[in-house]
Amino acid sequence: MTRKLLVSLLVPLLVLSMVACNTTPPVTPPQPTSAPPTTAPPPPAQDVKILRLADTQDIRNVNPHNGNWISEDNARGYLSARLYRATINPTTKKQLYLPEAAAELPIQMDDEGIVWRIPLDPKMAWENGELFTADTWMYTFERACDPVMVNPMGSWVFSNDIIILNGEEYYLSGEEGTDYTWEDVGIKKIDDYTLEFTLAGRYTQEEVIRHFTGVSPVYEPFYEAGMNASRTSTTYATSIDSFMASGPYSLEFWEVDSERVYTKNYLWPLADLIKIEKISFSIVPDTGAMMQLFESGELDIMDLDAVTFVKYEQDPRLHTYPSAQVGYFNINMANPNNPLLSNVNFRRAISWAIDREAMAKIQLSSPWASIIPGTAGGYGGVSYKDLPEVKAVYPENHGYNPDKAREYYDLALEELGLTTADFEIILNEQAVDRRNMVEYLQNSLTQIFGEDKINITLKGLPAANASTLVLWTEGPTTYESGVSSWSWGSTLYYPNLQFQFFTPSGQLNVTDYNCPELDAMYVLSRTDEYRMDPKKLVELTMEMEALLRDQVLVIPITNFVGRMIISERLLLPIPYDAELGYGTMWADIDLTK
């Protein structure tokens, strides 16, 4: 009886398991139907140049309205068209903007630079051969700004390098609507192959181009097919079946959280510039497994963190590059539960007591006492950090001075009538380097101020909880202090944009740092007068930094350094460039290695 029962249960289970085990077979993407290939057909399989990449986490979608991770923007760069594409100038090896879905560079329609027209390339096609028109882009822009969908990436369309008139006002008008309608937004179709943009201020042609190098189209039939009944969200581009490519590559295979394969799209207007035929992305959550893949020659590029870097420190294949990410120590001065935090002398004491050299060693980054990242632009071809006037005010010893720290600390305790200072630091338990930094901070501050005068409690949290508390999304009492890091690519051109994280008028204000004087300066720095005069902008940015440093609204501690190991078979077209990175999209593969 028992034997029969077991056999009758186990056999069907085994069969079911084997059947279920086979995951979804690769889906063949739609084949081109109308537009002819612009270059030669693919080479024979044995000569195919395949770039093998991996990441610890898969992208969630390729929807330009929804995917706000850097990896998702990278994926869109490979798979979706842009109006303009940042490429490499073959002579200077610097950035060169080329029209992609646009037919030519933007045309200024008025004297101020407020109205711009972009002619479209009538030969631009989706991977299925269907041609683009102005309606393709109008649908894309309207959905991006849709006040019912409230797409997270909406602002990338109406407010990034340029601000489109009434874009944000319409986006935030809610389901009930306000006085703003889509008709009020400064995006208009002039004819089937011309778009016109009315901006909220004066902008240069380069700014308009740069803005549209970050905006991708959506394929209306799939977008609408994935829309829910209330039209609040769509499943567009969340799987291979719901996405239509139009960029340098097509999506050949995508098993979410496992693998993506791109193949060169010969319909893409700049296909001649692409040398790699296929790109294979593996999702490998375990860094140990990723290292094994790289060592066994199954990966071409691997990002290194503070732990994995040690193994490749002396490896000639190691590449390091400056990052726009600045690490900060945040003291939540608005927390009403601990008056210590709002005392400016206490914050000054902490700032002077942080040994940034030691912190940077733990994180394998650069010690940093400036709000602005080292990659930020200045003027006259000199970066912000290298300008003589900026260097002149940079704090000695990266702002580490224990004696000064003790002076401010005693002053703070006296002002508050305290003998001991108690406060809590939250830490991200999953990031080893951050945890070590916070533990080091606890010890070093205790040593400087004395065990009897300071009591620091550490509170470990998972990554998402720690970061969301620092974002202060649930009110001022959620945390007392913690480390965070922020970066914004456009600081490469406008150093003042780093302040948007720390001012109420900043679009990305992460915490309610309410300093009206700084806020007024930030608003001023965003005006045409400053934005279009780099020297003037630097001067104002320096004033803002001096104020922020004096009030210690946030404490900069490190500037990150990017590290990756790159296999010898990948032939990079340029050394690292702040605008283009390593130009991996334009790289080649040495098939002999």
Partner 1 sequence: MVRYVLGRLVALGVTLFIIVTVSFVAIRYMPGNLYEDPHISPAAMAAINAKYHLDKPVMEQFYYFLRGIVLEGDWGTSIKIRPAIPAFDILRSRIPVSMSLNLISLIISLPLGVVFGTISAMRHNKMIDNVISFAVVICISVPSFVFASMLQYYLGFKFGWFPIIFKASATGKDYALAIVLPILALAVGPIATITRYLRGELIETLSSEFMLLARTKGLTRTQAIIRHAFRNSMVPLLNILVSLFVGILGGSLVIERIFAIPGVGGIMVDAINAMDHPLTIAVLIFYSFVSLIAVLLVDILLGIVDPRIRMGARQ
Residues numbered 60-119 forming contacts with partner 1, rule: CB under 8 A: 60-61, 66, 68
CA 564, 567, 568, 574 dihedral sign is negative
Nearer to partner 1, 171 or 346 (CB): 171
Span from 19-27, 309-317, 410-418, 550-558 in contact with partner 1 (CB under 8 A): 19-27
Span from 209-217, 279-287, 320-328, 535-543 in contact with partner 1 (CB under 8 A): 279-287
Nearer to partner 1, 94 or 231 (CB): 231
Q: How far is the CB of 159 from partner 1 (least distance, A)?
A: 9
Nearer to partner 1, 68 or 444 (CB): 68
- Given candidates 289, 382, 520, 546, which one binds partner 1 under the rule CB under 8 A? 289
Span from 21-29, 83-91, 323-331, 440-448 in contact with partner 1 (CB under 8 A): 21-29
Nearer to partner 1, 420 or 477 (CB): 477
- Given candidates 471, 524, 547, 571, which one binds partner 1 under the rule CB under 8 A? 471
SS3 annotation, 434-489: HHHHHHHHHHHHHHHHCCCCEEEEEEEECHHHHHHHHCCCCCCCCCCEEEEEECCH
Q: How many other C-beta atoms can be found within 10 angstroms of the C-beta atom of residue 425?
A: 22
- If we measure between CA atoms, which residue out of 20, 45, 54, 32 comes closest to residue 260? 54
| Angle, vertex CA 39, rays to CA 34 and CA 44, nearest 5 | 105
Does 233 help bind partner 1 (rule: CB under 8 A)?
Answer: yes
Which residues within the stretch 502-521 sit at the binding site for partner 1 (CB under 8 A)? 507-510
Span from 18-26, 181-189, 328-336, 370-378 in contact with partner 1 (CB under 8 A): 18-26
- Given candidates 10, 225, 382, 393, which one binds partner 1 under the rule CB under 8 A? 10
Burial class (CB in 10 A: 0-12, 13-18, 19+), 322: middle
Nearer to partner 1, 343 or 491 (CB): 491
| Angle, vertex CA 47, rays to CA 581 and CA 270, nearest 5 | 45
CB 98 within 8 A of CB 85: yes
CB 28 within 8 A of CB 250: no
- Given candidates 43, 152, 336, 450, which one binds partner 1 under the rule CB under 8 A? 152
Nearer to partner 1, 258 or 320 (CB): 258
Q: Where are the alpha helices (DSSP H) in 91-204?
A: 134-144, 154-158, 167-171
Which residues within the stretch 369-428 sit at the binding site for partner 1 (CB under 8 A)? none
Residue 162 DSSP one-character state? S
SS3 content of the chain, % helix, strand, coil (to 5): 35, 20, 45
Does 337 help bind partner 1 (rule: CB under 8 A)?
Answer: no
Pair of tokens at residue 337: 């539960």
Nearer to partner 1, 441 or 510 (CB): 510
Span from 86-94, 108-116, 462-470, 573-581 in contact with partner 1 (CB under 8 A): 462-470
Pair of tokens at residue 111: 């004297």
Nearer to partner 1, 155 or 496 (CB): 155
- Given candidates 53, 138, 256, 532, which one binds partner 1 under the rule CB under 8 A? 256
Amino acid in the structure at residue 246: S
- Given candidates 323, 335, 363, 467, which one binds partner 1 under the rule CB under 8 A? 467
Matching residue, tokens 């309608």:
181
- Given candidates 464, 523, 546, 591, which one binds partner 1 under the rule CB under 8 A? 464
What are the residues facing 485 on neighbouring strands?
Answer: 327
Which residues within the stretch 153-212 sit at the binding site for partner 1 (CB under 8 A)? 154-155, 168, 171-172, 174
- If we measure between CA atoms, which residue out of 543, 590, 548, 552 comes closest to residue 571? 590
Which residues within the stretch 211-230 sit at the binding site for partner 1 (CB under 8 A)? 226, 228
DSSP letters spanning 317-346: TEEEEEEEEEEEEEE-TT-TT-GGGG-HHH
Span from 282-290, 405-413, 415-423, 514-522 in contact with partner 1 (CB under 8 A): 282-290
Nearer to partner 1, 407 or 424 (CB): 424
Q: How many other C-beta atoms can be found within 10 angstroms of the C-beta atom of residue 309?
A: 18
Does 261 help bind partner 1 (rule: CB under 8 A)?
Answer: yes
Span from 15-23, 122-130, 191-199, 304-312 in contact with partner 1 (CB under 8 A): 15-23
Does 48 help bind partner 1 (rule: CB under 8 A)?
Answer: no
How many residues interact with partner 1 (rule CB under 8 A)?
75
Phi then psi for residue 581, to 5 deg, are 65, -135
CB 176 within 8 A of CB 149: no
Nearer to partner 1, 75 or 538 (CB): 75
